[in-house]
Amino acid sequence: MADFKKIDKSWTLFLDRDGVINYENVGDYITRWEDFRFYDGVQEALKTLAGLFGIIVIVTNQRGVAKGLMTGQDLLDIHAYMLGKIETTGGRIDKIYYCTDEGPNRKPSPGMAYQAKADFPEIDFTKSIMIGNTMSDMMFGKSVGMTTIFISSNRPAPDFPDPVTDAVYPSLAEAVKAIAGWCTKRTGLH
């Protein structure tokens, strides 16, 4: 189990998108906003996370662009709508990093982590959490020293102990309850 007691505004949260924030079409792609659906409780969870973490970023592989299933503009439109909905409910995403093809930025390679570090030099990977729903997400986080949380929303969780997974929750909302619970106990806030 991950130790959330030390989380404060000096920490960074890295989030995968499909399967964590929104329903994922396993084996297919979300190619337009009309197909994008938030998981229940995600917008409220993101509002809570905005009060706990100093930096929140999304890191997402989006090969649908390279495969010609959508355009780069389609992806940007989906993200713009998503960010608008998150912000209207009090949440915050500081930046979205995405990889549309193979290469050093595609998870599990750590390229997007290093892009975030270049944009936000204050990021300390040992004070960062990666939340994702694939083992690729877990390997991405561990490759730079992050704490990792697996969301088993639509994929089987790894067996424990697992060298690249620190905790497992069924949804982002449940993970946030655990994180916020520890932060509340530590600070005495209600």
Place of tokens 């690249």: 164
CA quadruple 135, 95, 28, 78: dihedral, nearest 10:
160
Q: How many helices (H) and strands (E) does the chain have?
A: 5, 6
Q: Which of 3, 8, 16, 101 is catalytic?
A: 16
162: annotated active-site residue: no
Q: Which of 18, 74, 137, 166 is catalytic?
A: 18
Q: Which of 8, 119, 100 is nearest to 60 (CA)?
A: 100
Q: In this structure, what token pair is assigned to residue 54?
A: 């100093």
Q: Which of 17, 13, 120, 11 is nearest to 59 (CA)?
A: 17
18: annotated active-site residue: yes
Contact indicator for 123, 94 with CB cutoff of 8 Å: no
Q: In this structure, what token pair is assigned to residue 39?
A: 């998981």
Residues with a catalytic annotation lie at 16, 18
